[in-house]
Amino acid sequence: MQRVARKRSADLIALVDQEQLDETEFGTFAWPTNRVRAFEDDFRVPGEDDEARVLPEVSPQELVGAMRFLARTGGGIERDELVRETALIFGTRRLTAKPKAHLEAVVGHAVKRGELVCDGDLVLCRK
């Protein structure tokens, strides 16, 4: 479905086992039964023939996992580059204003939760 009305979304969420749901400030996300929650740096990337994942529809846990991966493997990364590289991981080549703002908000969320640390413009992985 390309668009889901709020009522339809609520109806669909009601059908999912509550233990599979994750309520976040960015929305409600459902996890498959074989992976109830994402862990640390766990994230799913689109396959070679798959379309890009719509960034606001990706769980913030997965986005933060990708961000932590990028920050850790680079020994730190500038915030703008972190946003661009995170978008690329999920298949987004052209980052427009709305997805960029969403990723910026997720960076802020991760910093607030202590999952990422900002040192000026440099973003570091806490663990």
Number of domains, the chain: 1
pLDDT digits (tens, 9 = 90+) for 27-85: 777 766 665 455 556 787 888 888 888 898 888 989 999 999 999 998 999 999 999 99
pLDDT digits (tens, 9 = 90+) for 97-117: 999 999 999 999 999 999 999
Query: Residue 58 belongs to what domain range?
Result: 39-125
- Per-position b or e across 22-58, b if 16+ CB within 10 A of its CB: beeebeebbbeeeeeebeebebeeeeeeeeebebbeb
What per-residue confidence (pLDDT) applies to 45?
82
What per-residue confidence (pLDDT) applies to 43?
83
Distance CA 21, CA 94 (A): 30
What per-residue confidence (pLDDT) applies to 74?
87
26 in any annotated domain: no
49 in any annotated domain: yes
* Predicted TM-score (pTM) of this structure: 0.79
61 in any annotated domain: yes
89 in any annotated domain: yes
33 in any annotated domain: no
28 in any annotated domain: no
98 in any annotated domain: yes
Q: What is the DSSP letter of 38?
A: -
Helices 97-112 and 60-73: crossing angle in degrees, nearest 10, is: 80
pLDDT at residue 1 tops 60: no
59 in any annotated domain: yes
